Structure 1
């Protein structure tokens, strides 16, 4: 049975059938279960309970538990971004803007969640604080996806209703897809970055994971400080594109089956689905051949810390950051220019379409043992990381928005469907995703 989402829990509270304290007690039990080892790097349950009891009734989040990625400042606590290189970091003097907005809306922070060191990987491995196990498979410990690994597991297991994270190349949508929950990456400019450790100032997006699309809408409205324009347009009113180039390459059997089954249901519901070439995706390799934004911009931030604490970095993360040392100023300027031109080409190719549909990632979650720290597994790790980021990172380069929602059958490992488009189509993507979620939840899995 799916866990209750924030909306249904809030309704029970407002009807007098439950309290925020009940929700916090259940969240604490989930967080402290043995299978949730490595999900949180710190917790504050007693303080959270006191805050929940002081929360004014009728606030949007009603004192319900939220988790925050160890990337965000939280007043009185040190932000370590999943790294021991920042073990002596000073405590924050104020909340990150996004966290302040959640708290003002009645969200109660229960703890800081584990993550890939400095948010630089889609796999979710952390050699310093351990790796949270994906809750989808109790028999085989599988990766949760990254970099917002603990955030995803906290939401999937009931330890939080909203998992605050970030998305630079897929760090919200990848773990959402692999853990079977919802992850929405909004247009980057809509949510404030202040108080979050940067990875790429060009691509970073502050956003969240939830258990339902309607919860994703609410979380986005709070974080962005805006109202989503709602639409009751049926699926038959949407014109959807399927990208032929790259997005469907090398899908494993479970992902391919779930994706095709979902497309069939959408078509049967009347959605107008057209396959488009979108060959511009192939150009990204050439555009980023000198290293890309993430390497260059992360190196600019980490350069001095690497000189002082480089030996304490995860070697896989350090290797990727140090690639940015070789980018020349003129290459960085040309990269921005090439991206602007590329965005215009993709926008032109997608003119007339409401959204593009693709598998969020081309695989189900592999076993942690296959990509765990160790030089003998580095090749498998980097191959897996590249595949996980392949589809999602296209949206970041597009300066776009995207939502991943589960589309697998009950007897399958989680698979994510990604609905996406360019900048400022957030409301269309959210409204479409509400329709898709309703269809999939009401349809027979066969």
Structure 2
């Protein structure tokens, strides 16, 4: 298992290593076969300077390596959002807010990590620049055929899981942090969207986009969230039995594959033995989302508004699977869009009322383990399988985005199993409870 950020900071403070030495280890990992296609472009000289800066080990990130999804501006690098359409963009003149906060906190920015073109898929495939293969941070490299890393923050997930970064900055619009976290055996925290600025990032959905990160542990997730949100997480001394937890059955437990079902049930059993209060609830409101989004949803409409000028000139250069989803937004009328906003607000109110009696909800992060890259690789003959997999991967996580909520994915699989994520989640601004509960769950599941 990889050393997490908090433990490494302790080692640096004790003089057992240095930020510069740890950065070189991460750079070597980034150049290894495990990280093939993980980085789009790097700024290693700047990263080395950050790691060598006087007093850096006293900062929260202590000069340790950070990868940045290719939709966030890094000063001096072009932001391509995983697309050949923007590959010739001029270098950014300033860091976006999220990158600036990480840099000021001692993060050594390695460069841009790979992503799905324009962040529009949960699978992680990129036909322009290559697809990273999933890695298991808990038990090492996966054997057998290469598997999808999850998206859209594909490079962020693999960079952390394969040891190239301690933090992977990414975005989450429908699950794009939590899906790669689940498929790579790492931790992904999607905060309440309004808590972290998204300026200087190529948008997918201005309503749903969230700037957040992948880390090696829940305690690392707390450190990084405090940096990105410029706020302190209120820590709770309450033990696991003091929290009221619920497992919703509607939608979230449908069509689980055998590995995910076994890992999730085993985890619930272990938490119950540790005294956790877990109540199974129906939560039928989640079954209403298909009707709410019937006209296309926010991502289609809002992405089309941003992409329309580019599509007029460069449509043929888009990944056809991405272009088709963006172009669906052209059919949504202003009336449809306004009605969607009203429907979402009403649905959120019903959901918040239904879960008000619980401190957090528990679900599988995604219902399936990572499929092989070959099964969903670019090609019209595989489109049906790609869209089937994409819908499954996004199904559970996207509920939280529509709820305007917060969620944490942490690994719950054992050695010999493909990575599986357990999602701890709730409504808006319940971030601190989710993180405190996630910390307790992680400590318990690590006893497996």
Measured against the shorter chain, the TM-score band is over 0.9
**How far does residue 55 in structure 1 lie from its aligned partner after superposition?**
4.7
Q: How does 1:47-446 map to 2 (within 5 A)?
A: 47-57=46-56, 58-136=58-136, 137-442=142-447, 444=448
- Runs (4+) off by over 3 Å: none
TM value normalised by structure 2: 0.98
Q: How many residues end up aligned between the 2 structures?
A: 442
**How far does residue 52 in structure 1 lie from its aligned partner after superposition?**
1.2
| Contact map agreement 2:50 2:107 (CA 8 A) in 1 | no
CA deviations 1:234-258 (Å, max 9, x no partner) are 1100111111101001100000000
CA deviations 1:391-442 (Å, max 9, x no partner) are 0000000000000000001121100000000000000000000000000112
SS in 2 for 1:207: strand
Segments of 5+ residues of structure 1 without an aligned counterpart are none
Aligned to 1:12: 11
Q: Whole-Å Cα distance in 1 between the matches of residues 244 and 302 of structure 2?
A: 37
Q: Whole-Å Cα distance in 1 between the matches of residues 431 and 86 of structure 2?
A: 35
SS in 2 for 1:381: helix
SS in 2 for 1:248: coil
CA deviations 1:178-221 (Å, max 9, x no partner) are 00000000000000011111000000000000000000000000
Q: Whole-Å Cα distance in 2 between the matches of residues 230 and 125 of structure 1?
A: 38
SS in 2 for 1:135: coil
SS in 1 for 2:62: coil
CA deviations 1:355-411 (Å, max 9, x no partner) are 110000001100000000000000000000000000000000000000000000112
CA deviations 1:129-187 (Å, max 9, x no partner) are 00001123132100000000001000001100000000000000000000000000000
**How far does residue 271 in structure 1 lie from its aligned partner after superposition?**
1.1
Q: Whole-Å Cα distance in 1 between the matches of residues 230 and 71 of structure 2?
A: 21
Q: Whole-Å Cα distance in 2 between the matches of residues 415 and 325 of structure 1?
A: 36
Q: Whole-Å Cα distance in 2 between the matches of residues 417 and 273 of structure 1?
A: 14
| Contact map agreement 2:135 2:185 (CA 8 A) in 1 | no
| Contact map agreement 2:157 2:180 (CA 8 A) in 1 | yes
SS in 1 for 2:212: strand
Q: Whole-Å Cα distance in 1 between the matches of residues 291 and 370 of structure 2?
A: 29
**How far does residue 56 in structure 1 lie from its aligned partner after superposition?**
2.3
The 1:55–1:304 alpha-carbon spacing in structure 2 relative to 1, beyond 3 Å, is farther
SS in 1 for 2:289: helix
TM value normalised by structure 1: 0.98
**How far does residue 48 in structure 1 lie from its aligned partner after superposition?**
1.1
| Contact map agreement 2:34 2:162 (CA 8 A) in 1 | no
What is the aligned-residue RMSD (CA, Å)? 0.8
SS in 2 for 1:85: coil
Aligned to 2:139: none
Q: Whole-Å Cα distance in 2 between the matches of residues 21 and 323 of structure 1?
A: 48
| Contact map agreement 2:196 2:211 (CA 8 A) in 1 | yes
Q: Whole-Å Cα distance in 2 between the matches of residues 277 and 230 of structure 1?
A: 30
| Contact map agreement 1:56 1:106 (CA 8 A) in 2 | no
| Contact map agreement 1:290 1:331 (CA 8 A) in 2 | yes
Further displaced range: 297-306 or 6-15: 6-15
SS in 1 for 2:425: strand
Q: Whole-Å Cα distance in 2 between the matches of residues 220 and 150 of structure 1?
A: 19
